[in-house]
Amino acid sequence: MKQITRLGLGLLLSSSLATAHADDVKIGMITTLSGGGSHLGVDVRDGFMLALEQSGRDDVEVLIQDDANRPDLARSLANEFMQRDEVDILTGIIWSNLAMAVVPAVVRQGTFYLSPNAGPSDLAGRMCHENYFNVAYQNDNLHGAMGAYMREQGYERPIIMAPNYPAGTDALAGFKHLYEGEVVDELYTQMGQTDYAAEIAQIRASDADSLFFFLPGGMGISFMKQWEGSGVDMPIFGAAFSFDEILIKAVGSAAIGARNTSLWAYDLENDANERFVEGFREAYDRTPTLYAAQGYDTANLILSALEVAHPDDKDAFREALRAADFDSVRGDFRFGPNQHPIQDIYVREVVEGDDGQPTNRLLGIAIEDIQDVYFEECQM
Amino acid sequence: MSVTLLIEQILNGVQLGTMLFLMASGLTLVFGVMGLINLAHGSFYMVGAYATAAVTASTGSFLMGLAAGMTAAALVGALVELLVIRRLYHRPHLDQVLATFALILIFSEGTRWIFGSSPMRLSPPSWLTGFVTLPGDTRYPLYRLMLIGVGIVISIALYFLISKTRLGMRIRAGESDREMIGALGVNISKLYTVVFALGAALAGLAGALVGALQSVQVGMGEPVLILAFVVIVIGGIGSIKGALLGALLVGLVDTLGRVYLPIFFRAFMPPSEASGVGAALAAMLIYILMAVILAFKPKGLFAAHD
Amino acid sequence: MTNNIPTSAVSSKPTSNSARASMPKHSHSGGSGAAPANQADSHFGRKGLVQIALLGLLLLLPVAAYFFGHLYYVNLASRITIIAMAAVGLNLAIGYGGMVSFGHAAYFGLGGYVAGISAYHAFDFTPFMTWPISIPGSDSLLVVWLAAALLCALLALAIGAISLRTTGVYFIMITLAFAQMIYYFANSWPTYGGEDGLPIYIRNSLPLVDTTNALTYFLICFGGLVMAMAVTSRLMKSRFGAALTMARLNDVRLATAGVSPYPVRLVAFVISAAITGLAGALYADLNGFVSPSVLSWHFSGELMVIVILGGVGRLYGPLAGAILFVMMETFLGGITQYWQLFLGLVLLGVVLFAKHGIMGWLAGRERNE
């Protein structure tokens, strides 16, 4: 039943074209709603829509399309939104490779793009643009923060692991940059790999004292389940991408004890966050993930800028976005010169919740006011 | 690299191979008997895993879940055969490719519609967690050892089924001459449904068993499907023996390649670069293996027939 | 049988009588028997009409859309045209040559990467290679197309030479294997972006025309599609085409006639790859972007689905398939997030109820079906 009502909502959202007025604001959302890993897109969408609903504004319409995690389809959808629907703002993309396919062309053509999840280094550095705002994180942020945290906690011989693709090599580079020490070994897995027996045996055979890994989505689930049965006793660390509320419930007990860095936690105490988490649970009957928080913040940033100017007045609207004058659910939030966040990164630990299911608990701050290292390459 | 690590990695390769065999045996049977290219075989793997996860969660029993997973896959298989596949036997292979590709889309999105976008939870039962200590102080997860055991049992059972039973005789007859078997008075359509459901059940079992180690999510069957095709092509299409050897070969080459190629490149490259190059080559390794085998043996290692 | 031969110049399968008469029952084009003789002429008329309508609408609608200011539909038409062109290339291998390639994404992707890499070096003023000869980047479409076609032909020559030793499902899988190798290589090779892909900042250019204009670019793509179809049609009417058809239907007969089937197939495979590669280069410039996703087996499968959907071995089949597939992909997505389910149902319906694809359904049977 729930699925059917969700479908109904989707229908409603995408067909709300008819009632547009001239000064209404149109937002196009391209996100991943089908196939593996689609819970990220669903949460970004749901968080975003919740913020709009709470604002009570009826002059903002959102058009939503599924990119099925395919760069060429995302690109075509972006054209559709810009050329046919003439949206003022685009948002929604989950994956870095899709962002790289869509964002440069979109912002060059004068449409605003606000990233609710991906933050590839090129878009923060040499390809930065005045119409591109990242409301989530630069890809290195969470990995670097974990490097800093592990050094501070006194781990001396970490072994690190990631898939062999740009986001993976960037993750390990970001970790090493702030860890600043020697790592025992670097393991590269394959994209979409499902069996980690070989890597686990290597990890056990090494003399590492800790493991840091970046295995987003299903890869992380597979790895942790297999890790649990292996009898290796070593603390594990990662970024929130392997430990969102939905993934750790699929992993089960194997995730307990893992520590992960995140830019947000649902038990973070501030007014905006309480309103968000309560509202989200009420509306969707589940605990939000960081993706939902990012979607929510993205919508609220847009709403705050709309108070100042309409996107047709590009310079004024851009200035309003830069000011980031909204209550972020993650606490302090501001933009650096490349329009990427400067923010605190938190550490969470996976614990057993009251209902026996694993859940994240906030431990503290891993690093304050982290900023990406690419802003110097950015000439705006 | 120590000997114990090598032994452990060989076990890992064998374990991957036995699970690939469960997938590949059904695929190769269906092709051998009915001459059907079934791209939707990975969907049965997914159905098995989802059914097992759902029933395990509600009953608390992994074994009940497994039984449910196999049954569900077999039922879905039989249903698909009756509704769709049956109309395709006399059609060109290309129509079969298009129809079973369509089935993948229907199954994947249908599953997402019913179960939602989030991955499902499925873990090995507590009596199968932990590890055993093998000679040479090698620790090996109990669950993976069990998977190897199940693989061996199924292989033997399939051997007996095909060489000793009446059903097996019909299957063999169907493989060697499709027209002949009808003339013998065998009810072909029933035989086809049974073989298809058997293949689906094996895929469902593989999905359920592996699902406890991996992520139960939409699309989980596709990478396995491609690997299973690699296996049956290496082994020779239609040959169960070929599927078994092909599966073990692919399992071992993939696992050992992933471990030892980066180490090999480290001999003459900086470590970080060597890991990357080694991993890239390891990803290509089984396809290189397949291309080399087919270049020299165009019908695989144990071709049963065309 | 003899009454059933169409007399048209656009007929896509000119085979000799003897070839058809000896067509074995299990041939790739499937089914047996022929349409009643008295229908031959009337359904040819319908077929001609459908073909003209397809091509005409594909040309006229985007032009109209452009003048009404709907740029999006012009770009959508470009996308359909390019995908159709890639499928025309694949159809030459699958439909006319009986070589079921599950790896044509390799050529599409390579063509795309030629455009991307060339533009990358032209933009940076860095040479692509310096040894043994220095090759600079180029932002000229003519250079890019030439390089894409040549490189894809070379790659297909190597892959085809090995793969064509196998037949049937083995051929399907070995072509997939080669494509997968290239996919993994592109994914993990950092120089040109790896999985993140490679953006093309400024569309490659041609002398005298403005390629950044949507309509101009569509017309270029349309020209490419028509060329590809003309090449296929000419080729299949030549002696070479007759030999290729014979190689598909009965290669023993061809061999006894003194022609070795292997080189005939290989040449067709290479031409097929070059056409698909050119389409890939056009696609990269249309999107301003190329990434390993166009090298994946999903894309090979999609191209194959488009060919089968449209009608295997029909000149206009890939066009019909591409129009339906891309339109569904584009418009179903706006209706429901479960759009792929409905896409699957439509595809299943076509294969179960419209034998010989959309063109078979719209335009009637081809004569040797």
Is residue B56 pLDDT above 60, yes or no? Answer: yes
Contact B210 A188 (CB under 8 A): no
Q: Which residues of C touch B112 (CB under 8 A)?
A: 338
Nearest CB neighbour to B98, from listed C178, C181, C351: C351
Residue C220: its pLDDT value, please?
A: 96
Nearest CB neighbour to B284, from listed C181, C190, C308: C181
Confidence tier at C37 by pLDDT (50, 70, 90): very low
Is residue B175 pLDDT above 80, yes or no? Answer: no
Q: Which residues contact B107 (CB under 8 A, 6 or more apart)?
A: B40, B43, B46, B47
Q: Which residues of B touch A250 (CB under 8 A)?
A: 118-121, 215-217
Q: Which residues of C touch B97 (CB under 8 A)?
A: 100, 304-305, 308
- Do residues A175 and A293 share a domain? no
Confidence tier at C27 by pLDDT (50, 70, 90): very low
Domain boundaries in chain B? 3-296
Query: Is C27 a member of any domain?
Result: no
Contact C199 A104 (CB under 8 A): yes
Q: Which CATH number fits the domain that encloses residue A122?
A: 3.40.50.2300
CA of B119 to nearest chain C CA: how many angstroms apart? 17
CA of B136 to nearest chain A CA: how many angstroms apart? 13
Residues 182-241 of A with CB under 8 A from B: 185-192, 194-195, 197-199, 201-202, 204-205, 217-219, 221-222, 225-226, 228-231
Is residue C131 pLDDT above 80, yes or no? Answer: no
Is residue C262 pLDDT above 90, yes or no? Answer: yes
- Do residues A243 and A372 share a domain? yes
Is residue C16 pLDDT above 80, yes or no? Answer: no
CA of A68 to nearest chain B CA: how many angstroms apart? 11
CB C310 within 8 A of CB C325: no
Is residue B13 pLDDT above 50, yes or no? Answer: yes
Is residue C6 pLDDT above 50, yes or no? Answer: no
Condensed to tens digits (0 to 9), the pLDDT of residues A266-287 reads: 999 999 999 999 999 999 999 9
Residue indicated by tokens 């590839």: A120
Query: Is C79 a member of any domain?
Result: yes
Nearest CB neighbour to A229, from listed B131, B272, B275: B131
**C335-352 burial, b if ≥16 CB within 10 A, otherwise e?**
ebbbbbbbbbebbbebbb
Query: Is C19 a member of any domain?
Result: no
Alpha helices in chain C (DSSP H): 17-21, 40-67, 71-91, 105-124, 141-163, 168-188, 214-237, 239-249, 251-256, 261-287, 297-310, 317-332, 339-353, 357-363
Is residue C193 pLDDT above 90, yes or no? Answer: no
Q: Which residues of B touch A38 (CB under 8 A)?
A: 112, 117, 218
Which chain A residue lies closest to B140 (C-alpha atoms)? A230
* Tally of domains within chain A: 2
By C-alpha distance, which of C15, C51, C20, C27 is closest to C317?
C51
Q: Which of A43, A97, A103, A122 to mutate to test the interface with C (most CBs of C within 10 A)?
A: A97
Fold annotation for B3-296: ABC transporter involved in vitamin B12 uptake, BtuC (1.10.3470)
Q: Which of A64, A72, A73, A103 to mutate to test the interface with C (most CBs of C within 10 A)?
A: A72
pLDDT above 70 as % of chain B: 96
Is residue B43 pLDDT above 90, yes or no? Answer: yes
Domain that holds residue A46: 2-139+268-343
Q: Which residues of B touch A169 (CB under 8 A)?
A: 276
- Do residues A252 and A333 share a domain? no
Residues, chain B: 306
Query: Is C318 a member of any domain?
Result: yes
Average pLDDT of B228-243?
Answer: 90
The mean-pLDDT minimum among A312-316, B296-300, C168-172, C186-190 falls in C186-190
Is residue B44 pLDDT above 60, yes or no? Answer: yes
DSSP letter (8 states) at residue A173: H
B contact chains, 3+ CB pairs < 8 A? A, C
C contact chains, 3+ CB pairs < 8 A? A, B
Residue A15: its pLDDT value, please?
A: 42
Rounded distance, CA A63 to CA A70, Å?
18
Q: Is A169 on the interface with B (CB under 8 A)?
A: yes
Rounded distance, CA C22 to CA C15, Å?
11
Contact A246 B218 (CB under 8 A): no
- Do residues A108 and A216 share a domain? no
Longest dimension (CA), chain A: 66
Confidence tier at B130 by pLDDT (50, 70, 90): confident
By C-alpha distance, which of C235, C347, C221 is closest to C286?
C221
Is residue C7 pLDDT above 50, yes or no? Answer: no
Contact B214 A194 (CB under 8 A): yes
More confident residue, B244 or C133: B244
Residue B147: its pLDDT value, please?
A: 94
CA of C14 to nearest chain B CA: how many angstroms apart? 21
Q: Is B125 in a helix, a strand, or coil?
A: coil
Which chain C residue lies closest to A81 (C-alpha atoms)? C72
Contact A100 C190 (CB under 8 A): no
- Do residues A366 and A338 share a domain? no
- Do residues A205 and A63 share a domain? no
Is residue A69 pLDDT above 70, yes or no? Answer: yes
* Tally of domains within chain C: 1
Which chain B residue lies closest to A172 (C-alpha atoms)? B272
Residue C357: its pLDDT value, please?
A: 83
Condensed to tens digits (0 to 9), the pLDDT of residues B251-288 reads: 999 999 988 998 888 888 887 778 788 888 888 999 99
Residue A7: its pLDDT value, please?
A: 41
- Do residues A36 and A167 share a domain? no
Contact C337 A34 (CB under 8 A): yes
Q: Does the structure's ipTM exceed the value 0.90?
A: no
A contact chains, 3+ CB pairs < 8 A? B, C
Confidence tier at C366 by pLDDT (50, 70, 90): low
Nearest CB neighbour to C338, from listed A7, A77, A79: A7
Query: Is C37 a member of any domain?
Result: no
Q: Which of C70, C113, C196, C295 to mutate to test the interface with A (most CBs of A within 10 A)?
A: C196
Task: Tell me the count of B-C CB pairs closer than 8 A.
Answer: 139
Contact C351 B110 (CB under 8 A): no
DSSP letter (8 states) at residue C102: S
Average pLDDT of A351-361?
Answer: 93
- Do residues A372 and A262 share a domain? yes
State the virtual CA torsion across C254, C258, C261, C266 in degrees, nearest 10: -140
Condensed to tens digits (0 to 9), the pLDDT of residues A310-339 reads: 999 999 999 999 999 999 999 999 999 999
- Do residues A361 and A251 share a domain? yes
Which chain A residue lies closest to C78 (C-alpha atoms)? A76
Condensed to tens digits (0 to 9), the pLDDT of residues A171-198 reads: 999 999 999 889 999 999 888 888 898 8
Average pLDDT of C198-209?
Answer: 85
Residue C70: its pLDDT value, please?
A: 86
Is residue C112 pLDDT above 90, yes or no? Answer: yes
C219: its two tokens: 């017309």
Contact A72 C283 (CB under 8 A): yes
Which chain B residue lies closest to C194 (C-alpha atoms)? B280
Contact B84 C165 (CB under 8 A): no
Nearest CB neighbour to C188, from listed A76, A127, A164: A164
Query: Is C59 a member of any domain?
Result: yes
Chain centre to alpha carbon of residue B24: 5
By C-alpha distance, which of C337, A70, A73 is closest to B108?
C337
Rounded distance, CA C125 to CA C138, Å?
9
Residue C130: its pLDDT value, please?
A: 75
Rounded distance, CA A224 to CA B281, Å?
25
pLDDT above 90 as % of chain A: 71
B166 to each of B154, B158, B169, B186, B283, how far by Cα in Å?
A: 18, 13, 5, 11, 42
Q: Which residues of B touch A164 (CB under 8 A)?
A: 275-276, 279-280, 283
- Output the average pLDDT for chain B: 89
Confidence tier at C362 by pLDDT (50, 70, 90): confident
Q: Which of B36, B83, B101 to mutate to test the interface with C (most CBs of C within 10 A)?
A: B101
Query: Is C15 a member of any domain?
Result: no
Nearest CB neighbour to C195, from listed A79, A83, A165: A165
Contact A105 C288 (CB under 8 A): yes
Residue A21: its pLDDT value, please?
A: 55
Q: Which residues of B touch C168 (CB under 8 A)?
A: 93, 306
What are the DSSP calls for A281-349, one per residue? HHHHSS---HHHHHHHHHHHHHHHHHHH--TTSHHHHHHHHHHT-S--TTS--EE-TTS-EEEEEEEEE
C258: its two tokens: 């003194």
Which chain B residue lies closest to A222 (C-alpha atoms)? B214
- Do residues A229 and A366 share a domain? yes
C22: its two tokens: 């000896």
By C-alpha distance, which of C141, C144, C101, C114 is closest to C273?
C101
Average pLDDT of B206-210?
Answer: 95
Residue A36: its pLDDT value, please?
A: 66
Residue B54: its pLDDT value, please?
A: 96
Q: Which residues of B touch A246 (CB under 8 A)?
A: 118-119
Residue C43: its pLDDT value, please?
A: 53
CA of C360 to nearest chain B CA: how many angstroms apart? 13
Q: Which residues of A touch B131 (CB under 8 A)?
A: 229-231
Residue A22: its pLDDT value, please?
A: 59
Rounded distance, CA C342 to CA C352, Å?
15
The mean-pLDDT minimum among A156-170, B144-158, C71-85, C102-116 falls in A156-170
Condensed to tens digits (0 to 9), the pLDDT of residues A90-118 reads: 999 999 889 999 999 899 989 999 999 98
Condensed to tens digits (0 to 9), the pLDDT of residues A3-52 reads: 444 444 444 444 444 444 557 899 999 999 887 678 899 999 999 999 99
Is residue C348 pLDDT above 90, yes or no? Answer: yes
Confidence tier at C45 by pLDDT (50, 70, 90): confident
- Do residues A79 and A28 share a domain? yes
Q: Which residues of A touch C329 (CB under 8 A)?
A: 73
Contact C79 A76 (CB under 8 A): yes
Is residue C95 pLDDT above 90, yes or no? Answer: yes
Nearest CB neighbour to A164, from listed B141, B210, B280: B280
DSSP letter (8 states) at residue B216: B
Rounded distance, CA C277 to CA C272, Å?
9
Contact B112 A198 (CB under 8 A): no
